[in-house]
């Protein structure tokens, strides 16, 4: 860090509750990136931020420094046919929105260079779902990625080593120093990666409820407001939509099972439901933010036509083929997506209506089946998971199970069944499902 201020003095200032300047934050993030800050210093900095927080100017500076710590994608000269748009979710169970939304937006004229992540904890990861597709390359060469964005309109891939490298190191250290749950660190981590993709507009799906990352509705709302404000101040118009995660978004969870669900929606085999409602709402916001529609009604009409005509499904198929997957996946998903050998329906102990559920516990049941990770190095079994999960307010009885477990072994199914029965409460009272789309926060770039 040369003749710059000693990093320990900057860490001391943050430890003592002082606000750091833009220059100081850039120095520190530079040290995270180039290794001149030791792991101990990065951990101390993360803890100082966790304990003392950051003001709005600091959070913006941290986000921009992480964005600028590596390559920032530019699309000039590619003659893209539409605006560069993207979506990010704070995670949950049965949240396969990206698989449907990316090709749906592409079919309406947007370009979606979606850099996605893996699952950790109870939340599923988009990359893990896509890797259930044989041959799908989540790490294509840069030119292949850019060509797909231009020619197909969508490419869903993993983060490259060149994109926001400061975040990769900072997040790994936060994960082992109990500093993950810090608003400025969460916001800068999410946006540092997303804004490095050269976006014209972003929509954020911020979850609230028992399966949400943030522990309370108030904290979920604060996260949504902060993300929208910081991203717009950093130059990207952003809409944050608060959505319910008090039950799985799709009636399923598990990687191959969710890919199958996405294909069913895109091809029209299934229609309606909470997943489609949230995906459509997010897509409506993106089309308006990208100036592809002048109103919500116009955006909705464009989306409905793109789905009904098969245009959205065609974009998904072209993306899969362009990244090495089978050309006939949409026609024959059962020939390619892995299936678990054990299927077991789990019934409630007595008939009634689903009152509430611990959605996080359902996600952890999928992890225990092998469908998620306890640590980043764990292998994933793409075939396992839950299907046909009953919704809040739905009646369950001897013919309608709580869910169907897809497992590798009988004893895995035994454990998952016990977890399901503990996680889902059934009673006689009628109950309405929580409001799915709870608020929308829009911020335009200056």
- d(CA 96, CA 129) in angstroms, rounded, equals 8
Which residue(s) pair with 327 in the sheet? none
pLDDT higher than threshold 90 for residue 157 = yes
- Tokens representing 139? 């790490």
Task: Select from 324, 331, 340, 336 the least CA-distant residue to 266.
Answer: 331
- d(CA 42, CA 69) in angstroms, rounded, equals 15
pTM higher than 0.75, yes or no? Answer: yes
What dotted CATH number matches 85-162+179-332? 3.40.1030.10
Task: Read off the pLDDT band of 161 (50, 70, 90).
Answer: confident
Domain 7-53 CATH (choose: 1.20.1260.10, 1.20.970.10, 3.40.640.10, 1.20.1050.10): 1.20.970.10
Average pLDDT over residues 339-357: 97
Is residue 69 classed as helix, strand or coil in its secondary structure?
coil
- d(CA 101, CA 35) in angstroms, rounded, equals 37
Question: Exposed/middle/buried for 321, CB within 10 Å: 0-12, 13-18, 19+?
Answer: middle
- d(CA 217, CA 246) in angstroms, rounded, equals 11
Contact 404, 266 (CB under 8 A): no
Return the DSSP state at 331.
T
Neighbours of 230 (CB within 10 A): 25
Q: What is the pLDDT of residues 110-120, one digit of tens each?
A: 999 999 887 66
- Tell me which residues are annotated as active site: 86-89, 126, 174, 189, 193-194
> Where is 129: in which H helix or E strand?
helix 126-130
Among left, alpha and beta (phi > 0; psi -120 to 50; other), residue 382 is: alpha
Q: What is the pLDDT of residues 177-229, one digit of tens each?
A: 989 889 999 999 999 999 999 999 999 999 999 988 888 999 999 999 999 99
- d(CA 283, CA 280) in angstroms, rounded, equals 5
Q: How many residues does the chain have?
A: 446
- In sequence order, what are the residues at sequence separation of 6 or more whose Cβ sits closer than 8 angstroms to the Cβ of residue 273? 250, 251
Q: What is the pLDDT of residues 1-52, one digit of tens each?
A: 445 689 999 999 999 999 999 999 999 999 999 999 999 999 999 999 999 9
The superfamily (CATH) of domain 339-427 is Pyrimidine nucleoside phosphorylase-like, C-terminal domain (3.90.1170.30)
> Where is 82: in which H helix or E strand?
none
pLDDT higher than threshold 90 for residue 433 = no
Q: What is the pLDDT of residues 358-409, one digit of tens each?
A: 999 999 999 999 998 776 667 899 999 999 999 999 999 999 999 999 999 9
Neighbours of 227 (CB within 10 A): 28
Question: What does the CA dihedral 14, 18, 24, 30 come to, rounded to 10 degrees?
Answer: 20
> What is the per-residue DSSP string for 97-128?
HHHHHHHHHHHTT-BEEEEE----TTS--HHH
Task: Provide the residue ranges of all domains of the chain, joining segments of one domain with +.
Answer: 7-53, 85-162+179-332, 339-427
> Where is 26: in which H helix or E strand?
helix 22-34
């Amino acid at each position: 860090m040369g003749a710059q201020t000693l990093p320990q003095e900057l860490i001391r200032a943050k430890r003592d509750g002082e606000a750091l300047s833009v220059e100081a934050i850039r120095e520190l993030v530079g040290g995270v990136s180039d290794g001149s800050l030791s792991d101990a210093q990065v951990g101390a900095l993360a803890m100082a931020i966790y304990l003392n927080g950051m003001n709005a100017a600091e959070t913006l500076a941290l986000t921009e420094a992480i964005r600028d710590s590596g390559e920032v994608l530019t699309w000039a000269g590619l003659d893209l046919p539409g605006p560069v748009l993207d979506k990010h979710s704070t995670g949950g169970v049965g949240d396969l929105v990206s698989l449907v939304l990316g090709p749906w937006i592409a079919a309406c004229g947007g370009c979606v260079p979606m850099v996605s992540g893996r699952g950790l904890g109870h939340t599923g990861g988009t990359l893990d779902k896509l890797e259930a597709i044989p041959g799908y390359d989540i790490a294509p060469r840069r030119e292949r990625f850019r060509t797909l964005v231009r020619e197909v309109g969508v490419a869903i891939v993993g983060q490259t080593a060149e994109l926001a490298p400061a975040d990769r190191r900072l997040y790994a250290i936060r994960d082992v120093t109990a500093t993950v749950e810090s608003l400025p660190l969460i916001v800068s981590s999410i946006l540092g990666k997303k804004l490095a993709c050269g976006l014209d507009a972003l929509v954020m799906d911020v979850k609230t409820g028992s399966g949400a990352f943030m522990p309370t509705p108030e904290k979920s709302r604060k996260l949504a407001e902060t993300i929208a404000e910081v991203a717009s101040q950093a130059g990207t118009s952003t809409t944050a939509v608060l959505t319910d995660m008090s039950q799985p978004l799709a009636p399923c969870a598990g990687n191959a099972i969710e890919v199958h669900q996405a294909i069913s929606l895109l091809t029209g085999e299934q229609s309606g439901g909470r997943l489609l409602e949230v995906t459509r709402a997010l897509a409506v916001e993106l089309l308006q933010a990208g100036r592809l529609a002048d109103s919500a009604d116009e955006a909705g009409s464009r989306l409905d036509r793109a789905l009904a005509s098969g245009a959205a499904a065609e974009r998904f198929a072209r993306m899969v083929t362009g990244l090495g997957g089978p050309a006939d996946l949409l026609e024959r998903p059962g020939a390619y997506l892995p299936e678990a050998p054990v299927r077991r329906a789990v019934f409630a102990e007595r008939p009634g209506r689903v009152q509430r559920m611990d959605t996080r516990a359902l996600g952890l049941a999928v992890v225990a089946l092998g469908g998620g990770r306890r640590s980043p190095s764990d292998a994933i079994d793409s075939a396992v998971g839950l299907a046909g999960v009953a919704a809040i307010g739905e009646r369950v009885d001897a013919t309608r199970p709580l869910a169907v477990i897809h497992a590798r072994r009988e004893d895995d199914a035994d454990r998952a069944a016990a977890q399901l029965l503990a996680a889902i409460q059934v009673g006689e009272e009628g109950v309405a499902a929580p409001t799915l789309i709870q608020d929308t926060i829009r911020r335009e770039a200056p």
